Amino acid sequence: MTGTRSHKRLLAKLVMVSVAMFGFGFALVPAYRVLCDITGFGGRLSDKPAAVAASESEADTERLVTVEFVATVNSNAGWVFRPTVAKMQVHPGELYTTSYYAENLLDRQLLGQASYNVAPVRAARFFAKPDCFCYSQQEFAPREGREMNVTFFIDPALPKAIETVTLSYTIFDVGQQAN
């Protein structure tokens, strides 16, 4: 009987430790988001609307930053996906628009969703996108292709040592996930 009682106590302690660990991990999510917002870690972009930031700051016309555009297709899906320009030279403090071209190569409808990343990580908090095709899913009819716009802004406070920023997208067929 003593053995059963000690097993129950041990089980209760293990359950409490498991619940405490889960709660601790769950509580770290907001702290991680704050860390990402402050440092730009994980490619998180500034929450400040770019149009507001652009109107509040003066363009740094003495400085040029190269923005490179990269596109990747995930999971061997039937896509063509590429930036319409490989890179641009921009003045921090000005709004710019570029586009990516996507085409469905299949004889069935595709539902695409693009995820993005900004590199180097230190630049992410100075890079904002007020308008982007990546904010919503994109439906493509069979064999349909089109350009999709992204408007971006680099804050003039971007450290001078950062001369090149890369904006990369990966497109996924999210329609496949529903099946």
3-state secondary structure 80-119: EEEECCCEEEECCCCEEEEEEEEEECCCCCEEEEEEEEEE
Please state the separation of Cα 120 from the chain's center in Å.
13
The Cα 67–Cα 153 span in angstroms is: 11
Q: Which of 74, 146, 77 is nearest to 105 (CA)?
A: 77
What are the domain boundaries of the chain?
1-39, 46-178
**Would you say 92 and 155 are in contact if contact means Cβ atoms under 8 Å apart?**
yes
Q: Digits of tens for pLDDT over the chain (179 positions)?
A: 667 888 888 888 888 877 777 667 656 666 555 555 554 444 444 444 444 444 456 888 899 999 999 999 876 678 999 999 999 999 999 999 999 999 999 999 999 999 999 999 999 999 999 999 999 999 999 999 999 999 999 999 999 999 999 999 999 888 765 54
Is residue 122 a contact partner of residue 159, using CB atoms and an 8 Å limit?
A: yes
Superfamily of chain region 46-178: Ctag/Cox11 (2.60.370.10)
Between the CA atoms of 77, 78, 84 and 90, what dihedral angle is there, to the nearest 10 degrees?
-10
- pTM for this entry: 0.68
Q: What angle do CA 145, 146, 151 make, to 5 degrees?
A: 150
Q: Enter the tokens of residue 17.
A: 């430790």
